Structure 1
Amino acid sequence: EKVSAKDIQLNHTTEFQPPLAKSEKNTRVQLERATDERIKEIRDKIIQAKAYLNLALPGNNSQIVKELRVRTKELERAVGDATKDKHLSKSSPQRLKAMELALYKVSRVFHNCPAMATKLHAMTYKTEEQARAQKKQAA
């Protein structure tokens, strides 16, 4: 079949898309934020694990410390440089569950430990200060 210029002109339509309303823009931003939730959760778990590992005595190679180190490395590899949940590997949910279990076990060992509370408060303060500094730089 031959296609003429007239057929192309008749079949060619341009769709006009009006600018997004403010509520639609907000919805799109919320969706983008929601797609980062898993990554944020994984990074939070990695931070928690590192805090526990920092509190572990040097040279402590108990089974739980070894497991926590392994789970931390696994999650760091799973996240890599991903910025959105869709960039995560398919095995990341299983790795996250394994990390949560390891963190639960460690939390039972360090239950109500004053050193842990002090360390976590210091880490929180430092992180908040870094966030404020970055906001000031961005402004």
Structure 2
Amino acid sequence: MKIDSKTGRWSFFFLGIIQLITALSVGSTAISMHVFPKGHELLLLAVAVMSFCLAYLSPQFQQNDERTKKIKEKGMFYSYFFIVGYMFILMILVQGNETFFNAYQAICILASLTIMTVFLSFVILAKRY
């Protein structure tokens, strides 16, 4: 079944709004209970960012031409260096005597930063190429 670009774009945009509302409500509840960041609220925010990025990229990625392949290739290449930097910073923070967050929170932060970095790099490169 082939989905046209408008339907895919609006579907991702609608899902992004739902995820953003969910992330903001869970995040505000966690802040009011003084347990922010627990971890999962950052992942909800990352999924919302991913949905908005896919809404923007949907028409370009449906063509699956050389431009799309170049965007994906370069996006993953640039994201790799940012992800290594995130890991290095998290290792320094976790290594200290006063740990600001536990292993679950560190993994959730790393996963959410990875998701956001990859898809935001796709958007930046789609505007560039």
TM-score w.r.t. length of structure 2: 0.30
> Which entry has the higher C-alpha Rg, 1 or 2?
1
* Higher percent of residues as helix: 2
